[in-house]
Amino acid sequence: MSGKGYNENGSYEVEGGPSDCISSLSWSPPDAPKNVLVATSWDKTARVWDVTQSAPTPAAKCHATKGPECVHDLPVLCSAVTQDLRVFTGGCDKMVKCWELAAGKAPYQVAAHDQPVKSVKFISQCNILATGSWDSTVKFWDLRQPQPLGQIALAGPLVDMDCGTFPMATFLTGREIVVYDMQQRREIKRMEPHRIMKHQMRCIANFPDVTGNPGFAAGSIEGRVCIMHMNDSSKDYTFKCHRENGGSDVYAVHGIAFHHLGTFATFGSNGSFAFWDKDAKQRLRQFQNCDQSIPCGGFDSFGTLFAYAVSYDWSKGVEGYNSQKGNHILIHSVRESDIRTRSR
């Protein structure tokens, strides 16, 4: 990792961030009354910022105003924001809380698992909350009922999931991907992409609708991303990323975030993030390394802002921890030339 500081790319820094490692970042969806950013942390909190721009363009100045906090009994691992500004948070206390920002209500429990909750997603098209856990299940909740509508069993603890391209959802364990139809609430297939991904997978993200060919991208601890198509496996491929010193130093891919144009970002343990064009099979832009890992990130609904956390991921154990470096949330203005697909 070669970064000299936490903000080597001149991004806007959000004030009032967590006091411990940052576990997730999530944005409010399109048509929400505010552009809200939520961060969860091992300090047992979820924090909210109202992010504004003078116009939804990359050149417009960004500003984030800190809002209230939601507190759990144990570290918080994940969050999701709805169009009406409900925030769902889950974590190591094995529960999911609902936090109604617009109503100003105190957070209350809406779901539970037998082990920590690793991911939450709200599917607005069917008004269902999906929760995935280290107890090796994904549960589906109608929030008008106290019990889940159903659940699916996984081959191991959930690592990541994406429900952003309705009706397709993907659920990831370390070595298996479950593809699910949220509209019909049925499993489509289970995949073990060991032929192209030989190491444990860490993250997954579905293609947005604009691609016209459903599929997903998954990243691994080996500094590799696979691109997989549901209807045409001949287009599947992998590429190496988040490697340094000529490829001899290999870092985990912590996350993948698609832009609405169909291009995407990866971010990883080496403290870097990059934008990619999956169809042209090329990197659009590589950003400067930060001095700590980037555990989470994502584009806002306009696609003009990319939020990312600079925070230690414990990949180098206690010996690699430096309390003086702190934990930072940064927002980078996205230029269209950096993220738009390019013809080959």
- In the chain, count of helices (H) and strands (E)? 1, 30
Residue 309: per-residue pLDDT: 98
Q: Please, which residues bridge with residue 80 across strands?
A: 88
Q: What is the torsion angle, in degrees rounded to the nearest 10, for the CA atoms of residue 66, residue 105, residue 27 and residue 31?
A: -110
Three-state SS at 98: strand
Give 33: exposed, middle or buried? Use CB within 10 Å, 0-12, 13-18, 19+: exposed
pLDDT of residue 53: 85
Name the more confident of 316 and 19.
19
For the chain, the 3-state helix, strand and coil shares in percent, each to the nearest 5, are: 5, 45, 50
CA torsion 78-159-259-207 (nearest 10°) is -140
- Span of 135-139, 190-194, 278-282 with lowest mean pLDDT: 190-194
What's residue 100's pLDDT?
95
Classify residue 308 by burial, with Cβ atoms within 10 Å: 0-12, 13-18, 19+. buried
Please tell me the predicted confidence (pLDDT) of residue 58: 56
Give percent of the chain above pLDDT 90: 82
- 0.85 exceeded by pTM: yes
Chain mean pLDDT for the chain: 92
Question: Other CB atoms closer than 10 Å to residue 319's CB: what's the count?
Answer: 6
Per-residue pLDDT for 276 more than 90? yes
Of all helices (H) and strands (E), which one includes residue 263? none
- Residue 37 CB-half CA count within 13 A: 31
